[in-house]
Chain A
Amino acid sequence: EVQLVESGGGLVNPGGSLRLSCATSGFTFARAWMIWVRQAPGKGLEWVGRTKSTGGDIDYAAPVKGRFTISRDDSENTLFLQMDSLKTEDTAVYYCTRGYRDSSGSYHGDDAFDIWGQGTTVIVSS
């Protein structure tokens, strides 16, 4: 069964740091494009950033660029999100998700995401 499980969320003070993990199983993680998406309370979805498969580019949304770092450990099939200099507006449920590979074999790591974790909640507050 294909599965993504996030962990590491919690309550942190503004200016603090937190590291989220996304443990994956059931697919070849090393080949997958992996993405972080967040959802503030009562709000819509927001793309945070994306890593291509091993050795590929990593890109970030403007609001988190320079503060958040995406990394991956292909030996452990795990995706990470290091969040530094946290702000109250970073409060959200954070989802990890996988770039969709369609039936023709085309990857959609930049535009369509098929498997999602259950999310982990990050609250930035003093």
Chain B
Amino acid sequence: QSALTQPPSASGSFGQSVTIACTGTSSDVGRYNYVSWYQQDPGKAPKLMIYEVSKRPSGVPDRFSGSKSGNTASLTVSGLQAEDEAYYYCSSYAGSNILVFGGGTKVTVL
């Protein structure tokens, strides 16, 4: 099972928005509504930000939103804050009890 494809980097100005794409195939992202997004600061453990494509766990700001179209899922961070600067990883259930992650995107707040 191949990893999902994410751009290595993305940036947005303070207070503006940034959207990160996560491209899979019809066997993972396209088939299942089980896409999650994680935020990771360097040297720290990941934090769950989005699950089931667009749902936010308790405590995650509503500035974070997720969506999906076909084989591509997206994470949008609105009203960018300095603390949003981090690496973001998508993941998708791929059937047969297997999960795949994306390669990660470094988000920079300008």
Residue tally, chain A, CB below 8 Å to B: 26
Interface residues on B, range: 20 to 34
List residues 36-60 of chain B with CB under 8 A from any CB of chain A. 36, 38, 40, 45-48, 51-52, 55, 57-58
Point out residues on B near A: beta carbons under 8 Å.
Answer: 1, 3, 32, 34-36, 38, 40, 45-48, 51-52, 55, 57-58, 89, 91-93, 96-104
C-alpha spacing A125/B57, complex, angstroms? 39
Listed stretches A7-15, A22-30, A40-48; interface member:
A40-48
A73 in the interface (beta carbon within 8 A) = no
CB distance from A29 to the nearest CB of B (A): 18
CB distance from B82 to the nearest CB of A (A): 23
A76 in the interface (beta carbon within 8 A) = no
**Given A44-B104, A45-B38, A112-B36, residue A100 in contact with residue B57 (CB < 8 A):** yes
Q: In the complex, which residues of chain B have a beta carbon less than 8 angstroms from the beta carbon of A61?
A: 1, 98
Q: In the complex, which residues of chain A have a beta carbon less than 8 angstroms from the beta carbon of B102?
A: 44
Task: Choose among A45, A57, A113 the residue that contacts B48 (Cβ–Cβ < 8 A).
Answer: A113
Q: Which residue of B lies closest to A48 (CB)?
A: B99
Task: Choose among A45, A50, A59, A97 the residue that contacts B89 (Cβ–Cβ < 8 A).
Answer: A45
Task: Choose among A97, A102, A110 the residue that contacts B93 (Cβ–Cβ < 8 A).
Answer: A110
Q: In the complex, which residues of chain B have a beta carbon less than 8 angstroms from the beta carbon of A103?
A: 58
Contact B55 A102 (CB under 8 A): yes
Contact A111 B45 (CB under 8 A): no
Q: Which residue of B lies closest to A103 (CB)?
A: B58
Contact A117 B45 (CB under 8 A): yes
C-alpha spacing A111/B36, complex, angstroms? 7
Q: In the complex, which residues of chain A have a beta carbon less than 8 angstroms from the beta carbon of B101?
A: 37, 44-47
Contact B45 A95 (CB under 8 A): yes
